[in-house]
Amino acid sequence: MAPLAATPVVEAHGARIPLIGLGTWDLRGRTCARMVDEALRLGYRHIDTAELYDNEREVGEGLRASGIERDEVFVTTKVWPSHFSPRELERAAKESLSRLRLTDVDLLLLHWPNPRIPLGETLGALCKVKRMGLARHIGVSNFTVALVEEAVALADEPLVCNQIEVHPFIDQAKVIAACRRHGLAIVAYSPVARGGVARDKVLARVAAAHGKSAAQVSLRFLVQRGIAVIPRTSRPQRLSENLAIFDFELTATEMVEIGRLAHRGGRIVDYAYSGSPDWD
Ligand SMILES: NC(=O)c1ccc[n+]([C@@H]2O[C@H](COP(=O)([O-])OP(=O)(O)OC[C@H]3O[C@@H](n4cnc5c(N)ncnc54)[C@H](OP(=O)(O)O)[C@@H]3O)[C@@H](O)[C@H]2O)c1
């Protein structure tokens, strides 16, 4: 079985985040455990979950079923914003670990910003949870440029990542630049635009030129820029397809052409969600 070193990684403040991981949102029960197990057997070394996904138990089951050593797999989970007060955050982190049946995760993220709780308090708790050894690294998700700047200034432990929506149809240049200024890696969610890339003519043409699929081109477009990707699939055959992105290279012209597909309205996950009253 391939060791972690065989998977290309992006480095950030000492974290080595495999460039390809399995997203697990919406994978439930036996399907989730089976997909995690299968992904790890195929060579994935990075699994993304969250307390919100209601599948941490099954992710843990898949990890154990695969027989892959714990230290070879990069496991990320996320704290939901309704648990951002310091006491709640620590409790939520411990509950995630108990569902996963792990003593620590590789990366613990704040899932979405929560404007109702002072960021400094939440980050203080997140840093404490790291110092307690419950998370090897910490980071954020869905943070804007302004919030990244604020978070970096407030945190007294390094933030290693901002997990955000990135695919060819959305321009995230500003937030990516802000993250890079502060050494945060980007982890791209919805990296195949929830299957939408398969309907794009430019991606189809570039894909045909390389003997690849549009989804593989979309993932390659991101990893070639050092952005980690966590595509989700419920189909075992697509696990191998999404992993086979390190044996070809897009030309500079193709990278520019794909970069031009970004447009207003290309976002999939509604950002207005970040003000959801359901969090309190
Ligand atoms: N931090 C956050 O707020 C946040 C938000 C959203 C997502 N995420 C994370 O990011 C992960 C990925 O994002 P996502 O689930 O929104 O979107 P995604 O990975 O872009 O798309 C998943 C969808 O694309 C299809 N798909 C997968 N591989 C494909 C391929 N090779 N060709 C064609 N279609 C393919 C899947 O269908 P099949 O199942 O039929 O293959 C599924 O319906 C999530 O699972 C979650 O872990 C995080």
Query: How far apart, in Å, are the Cα atoms of 73 and each of 109, 170, 277?
Result: 17, 29, 35
Residues 6+ apart with CB under 8 A from 93: 79, 108, 129, 134, 135
Task: Report pLDDT for 7.
Answer: 86
**CA 23 to ligand 1 centroid distance, Å:** 6
Could you tell me the pLDDT band of residue 273, with boundaries at 50, 70 and 90? low
For the cut 50, the answer to whether the pLDDT of residue 1 exceeds it is: no
**CA 120 to ligand 1 centroid distance, Å:** 31
166-201 pLDDT tens trace = 999 999 999 999 999 999 999 999 999 999 999 999
Could you tell me the pLDDT band of residue 2, with boundaries at 50, 70 and 90? very low
Task: Report pLDDT for 5.
Answer: 44
Q: Distance of alpha carbon 94 from its chain centroid, rounded?
A: 20
Dihedral angle computed from the Cα positions of residues 217, 218, 220 and 222, in that order, rounded to the nearest 10 degrees: 160
Nearest Cα to Cα of residue 74 among 102, 33, 110, 111: 102
For the cut 70, the answer to whether the pLDDT of residue 232 exceeds it is: yes
Which one of the listed residues 44, 53, 189, 271 is annotated catalytic?
53
pLDDT mean across residues, the chain: 95
* CA distance linking residue 279 with residue 131, whole number of Å: 26
- Residues 82-94 have a mean pLDDT of 98
93-144 pLDDT tens trace = 999 999 999 999 999 999 999 999 999 999 999 999 999 999 999 999 999 9
Task: Report pLDDT for 253.
Answer: 98
Place of tokens 């990278």: 255
- Residues 233-249 have a mean pLDDT of 98
Q: Is residue 193 lining ligand 1, measured as CB closer than 6 Å?
A: yes
Could you tell me the pLDDT band of residue 272, with boundaries at 50, 70 and 90? low
CA geometry: angle 36, 214, 260, nearest 5 deg = 120
**CA 128 to ligand 1 centroid distance, Å:** 31
For the cut 90, the answer to whether the pLDDT of residue 278 exceeds it is: no
3-state SS assignment for residue 1: coil
With the most atoms of ligand 1 within 8 angstroms of its CB, the residue from 108, 110, 144, 233 to mutate is 233
**CA 2 to ligand 1 centroid distance, Å:** 24
Q: Is residue 246 lining ligand 1, measured as CB closer than 6 Å?
A: no
Q: Distance of alpha carbon 199 from its chain centroid, rounded?
A: 24
Percent of the chain with pLDDT over 90: 94
pTM over 0.95, yes/no: yes
Nearest Cα to Cα of residue 12 among 198, 210, 212, 159: 159
Q: Is residue 238 lining ligand 1, measured as CB closer than 6 Å?
A: yes
Task: Report pLDDT for 140.
Answer: 98
* CA distance linking residue 26 with residue 6, whole number of Å: 28
Give yes or no: 53 in active site: yes
Q: Is residue 212 lining ligand 1, measured as CB closer than 6 Å?
A: no
Q: Is residue 194 lining ligand 1, measured as CB closer than 6 Å?
A: yes
For the cut 70, the answer to whether the pLDDT of residue 227 exceeds it is: yes
Q: Is residue 76 lining ligand 1, measured as CB closer than 6 Å?
A: no
46-62 pLDDT tens trace = 999 999 999 999 999 99
* CA distance linking residue 29 with residue 21, whole number of Å: 19
Cβ neighbours, 10 Å, residue 273: 11
Q: Is residue 267 lining ligand 1, measured as CB closer than 6 Å?
A: no
User: Closest ligand 1 atom, CA of 238?
Assistant: 31
**CA 25 to ligand 1 centroid distance, Å:** 8
